[in-house]
Amino acid sequence: MTETNTPKVVRGYLADLDRELAGVSEEVRQGIVAGVREELEGLDAAAAASRIESLGDPAFIAAEARAGIGPGGSTASVTELAPPRASEQRWYVFVTGFLLEFGGIVVPLAGWVAGIMMLWASSLWTRSEKLVAIIVPPAVGVALFGIFALVGGARILFWHALVLGAIAGPVIASIVIGIVLSRRGWDRAR
């Protein structure tokens, strides 16, 4: 995360956390700060502020690190200190993936839109993954419709081009993207 791309709220939070961790062993301090930096990486200011709120006060994190609270009495990582939000749990990944893959089939368009909304509400996926989920299915539909309409000419009716290109293409693209993003989200979920 470069300094110029880092929102001010993130820079301030990391500085406060680093300052509060004074007196904690260097290895633990660096691990906690690096973990928080990774949690906040790539988030815009609003998303970062929301995530910072769920992480908690830097003084609390530092106190927990000093107390050595964690599994087996070891120092807990930041992700263990903050309870996971619903949008970071595996059931959420499952529902989001299902809606991305089959929501548009079960409830045409609305199911897919619900999956996209759930995708954007979670921090489990990167911004580029979210953009791919929004842009690729409609782009595949437009491209395939154009190809079938132009190449088919008189041999392919308009309705065939519409069904094959503008409907089947985006559905297949959504299923593939949903599977890929579900696997990535599942690996990142707590």
Q: pLDDT value at position 130?
A: 92
Which helix or strand (DSSP H or E) is residue 176 part of? helix 169-188
Q: Does residue 102 have a pLDDT over 70? A: yes
Q: Decide: helix, strand or coil at residue 58.
A: helix
Q: In the chain, where are the structural domains located?
A: 8-83, 88-188
The reported pLDDT for the residue numbered 71 is 36
> Which band of pLDDT confidence, cut at 50, 70 and 90, is reported for residue 134?
very high
Q: Tell whether pTM > 0.95.
A: no
Residue scoring higher pLDDT (129 or 86): 129
pLDDT-derived band at 95 (thresholds 50, 70, 90) equals: very high
User: Which one-letter DSSP state was computed for residue 165?
Assistant: I
**Mean of the per-residue pLDDT values of the chain:** 81
Average pLDDT of span 122-148: 89
Q: Would you list the DSSP string of 12-41?
A: HHHHHHHHHTTTS-HHHHHHHHHHHHHHHT
Work out the average pLDDT over 139-153: 81
